Amino acid sequence: MGGPPKPSRFTFSRSETLAHTFPKTHRLLQKDDFDRVFAVRRSRADERLVVYVAPNECKHPRLGLVVSRKVGNAVARNRWKRLLREAFRLTQHELPNVDLVCLPRAKAVPTLEELQQSLAKLTSRRPPKRKRS
């Protein structure tokens, strides 16, 4: 029973865990913040998400979520929100300093990796490719 404690499979340094936090300051919580983002009317979309983007004066990106009942029941909506928050938390250091409002499009809940790819693609500074006719 004595001896050193057994190391965990998951060991993280303090700097790693602090680098990937999601404090309230990184969230859009007020109706005025959402209204401002929607008023800018800059959006991009893919098969999974619609992302509205507005510049902010913070030194970090902020996330707001709008998950309607069209996406599914409460369980599905909460899963969407958990996955979107986690995707944002893991990719926030690669994102520009903007306010994002994410609206899910698909009824099927994607994987975390798919949402991370969507967020990165939809918030990149490059303009979207136009379809040639």
> Over the stretch 60-74, which tens digit does the pLDDT of each residue have?
899 999 999 999 999
Tell me: pLDDT of 54 over 80: yes
Distances (CA, A) of 101 to 68, 98, 107: 13, 10, 18
Tell me: pLDDT of 118 over 80: yes
Dihedral sign for Cα atoms in the order 104, 108, 113, 117 = negative
Tell me: pLDDT of 114 over 50: yes
Confidence of residue 6 (pLDDT cuts 50, 70, 90): low
Confidence of residue 11 (pLDDT cuts 50, 70, 90): low
Distance in angstroms (rounded) separating the CA atoms of residues 39 and 23: 25
Average pLDDT, the chain: 83
The answer as to CATH 3.10.20.600 being correct for domain 25-123 is no
Question: To 10 degrees, what angle do helices 112-123 and 74-91 make?
Answer: 60
- Specify which residues 27 forms β-bridges with: 63
Here the tokens at position 52 are: 């509205």
Query: Which amino acid is present at 106?
Result: A
Tell me: pLDDT of 13 over 60: no
Q: Residue 62: how many CB atoms within 10 A of its CB?
A: 23
Here the tokens at position 70 are: 């069209």
Q: What is the pLDDT of residue 53?
A: 94
The structural domains of the chain, with segments of one domain joined by +, span: 25-123
53 closest CA partner among 120, 129, 126, 122: 122
Q: Residue 30: how many CB atoms within 10 A of its CB?
A: 10
